[in-house]
Structure 1
């Protein structure tokens, strides 16, 4: 009887071990997490000058991302966290490549790059065997595949009007809580969304991506009220703030 119990226990352990071995592990975002904690302040502003000195560490992380693209065996949250971190980390790398600059938009205008209109069209991202630009990551992958409007609270295009860059990497196990926290921070920052019951001056994000916020019958008002401490209603006058493209540097 004891021998049968032992065999059964070994069989169960073997099956569990095989399951873990057969399932590819998602990328470890530890390098990126450490850099964010060291070079990003509580307002989400980046010490690019300091980070420039550790650009080799950032490139090591980007190489890790490049060599470990998501697979179908990854969970949805693992894939989303991966692609959000890809967007943010490669955006920071793009700025560092051209640093010092006053705005990320200078990369596509004052600094001449042949056949490229904007910094978001530069094919400088290699994931697996494929080349991407930042627009591909945002629009063709994150928006198209995951149907999750809260990604707009997480993607940071290196501008002052963007959401804050978190002082930590996005992580599959905490992704939803992180996105909700980003939403709360973004909607209650008067420089990015100035909201009163009678007048809401919202981020351009709510205008540019209106189709995302109104998908599946939801409204912009509902998204605002989900995160803002000041609530609005259908009679609230809504306008949109000018977008500040100044670099999100310290």
Structure 2
């Protein structure tokens, strides 16, 4: 009997505990951020980003490990961008905020834009849009817990449910779906297999008629800071 050929599967173990501790300390349950607290704890934030730099993903990482790496990297880098320019009223007041290549991964540098559009959006997981945070009030809230490979499905579902049912970001009333502009900007990500409302409905506490009129709410780019 011919023995079965062994297949080597890479086992990665990325420690996101430093980021998890920082989130628990400086982000409240509503996703509001204590940026001054982060500023006073900058050494730990930079230590985490340096750690991720040294743990550059390889092609044999499993999907959830990659998702956790890049979601946490995006969120931690966004916080650092704000802190480096603090005080600021909006991320949009920071020049070249999304396109500047300053985030180190291995021996290369990348941008927030590239992490979102060239990595995360290409991983066939539209819920990443509710997991990454752009430091603004209309964005999906920054969870005060780090993503991990093991918690990925649970946290992606939580982030999506929280966002679509948040009346400050999406409203469903009087036969109209007033949606976040995230659903307009990235509509193609959500409608590969269904209509937009068919995608949203399974996450709604009170599902709506998929034929209702869709409107898009104004986007509030002011800093998601603890008041």
Alpha-carbon distance, 1:24 to partner: 4.8
Alpha-carbon distance, 1:234 to partner: 3.3
| Cross-structure match for 2:147 | 170
TM-score (norm 2): 0.93
Alpha-carbon distance, 1:50 to partner: 1.2
The 8 Å contact of residues 191 and 199 in structure 2, kept in 1 or not, is answered as no
Q: Which moved more, 1:220-229 or 1:239-248?
A: 220-229
Matched residue pairs, number? 220
Alpha-carbon distance, 1:156 to partner: 0.2
Alpha-carbon distance, 1:72 to partner: 2.4
Unaligned runs of 5+ in 1: 1-18, 109-117
- Structure 1 stretches of 4+ moved >4 Å: none
| Cross-structure match for 1:39 | 26
Larger Rg, first or second structure (1 or 2): 1
Alpha-carbon distance, 1:73 to partner: 2.8
Alpha-carbon distance, 1:80 to partner: 0.7
Q: Which moved more, 1:37-46 or 1:188-197?
A: 188-197
- Deviation by residue 1:90-127 (Cα, 9 ceiling, x = unmatched): 0000000000000001102xxxxxxxxx3101111010
- Deviation by residue 1:155-175 (Cα, 9 ceiling, x = unmatched): 101010011101100011110
| Cross-structure match for 1:201 | 178
- Please state if 1:119 is matched with 2:97: yes
* Residue number among 63, 69, 82 corresponding to 1:95 in the alignment: 82
* Residue number among 176, 187, 202 corresponding to 2:164 in the alignment: 187
| Cross-structure match for 2:36 | 49
* Residue number among 214, 218, 223 corresponding to 1:238 in the alignment: 214
Q: Secondary structure at the match of 2:98?
A: helix
TM-score (norm 1): 0.85
| Cross-structure match for 2:120 | 142
| Greater helix content | 1
